[in-house]
Structure 1
C-alpha cells in the first residue's frame, strides 16, 4: 500500500492493520462442558478492524466502554495473537517479528 503525498513523493504507511479480529474462548472448563453437555462458547471481541497510519500522523481510537479499544491496542503491541488479519509496522509483519529477538526491538519503537 502506498500513499501519495502532496509534495510529489509517495510513502508507505508506518502502520497498516488489515481485517484484524480477535475471538476468545469463554467456555466453561472442559469437564464441566462434558458433564453438562454444553458446547464451547466464543466471544468475538474485535472483528474486521482495518486502518492505516501515515508517517508523522496519529490515530485516536475512541468508542464506548467494551467496544474493543483495548483489545485492538493489545493486538498492535503483540500481547494478543490475532484470530484473523494482519498488522504491519514499517513494512514488516509485526506479529511474525514479535516472535523473534529483533521483535523486542520493534516493539520498543
Structure 2
C-alpha cells in the first residue's frame, strides 16, 4: 500500500552519535512519530521531514513489543541540516530531496 504525506511532519529519535548526522546517512534511519515511542528514553533529536521524503510507516509490521514506537523508517541517503538546539533537543531538517530511490 502506498500513501503520501499531506504535509511535512516531525519525527523523533534518541541519537548517541550526533556528530554522524553531519554527513550523509547511508542506511535506513529509524524514527518515531511520537516522543513517547522513542527507544532509549527521552528524544534528543527532532527531524522536520518534508512530505516528499521517502520512507515507510511500519507500525503494522513491528514486533508486538515495539507497537507503541510508531516507527517511521526513513530511506537511506539522508542528508540533514541542523536548524537549532532547543535546550538539548537538536532540531534538524531533511535537506532537499536527498533520499530518493533511483
Question: TM-score, normalization: structure 2?
Answer: 0.26
Query: Which structure: greater helix fraction?
Result: 1
Question: TM-score, normalization: structure 1?
Answer: 0.25
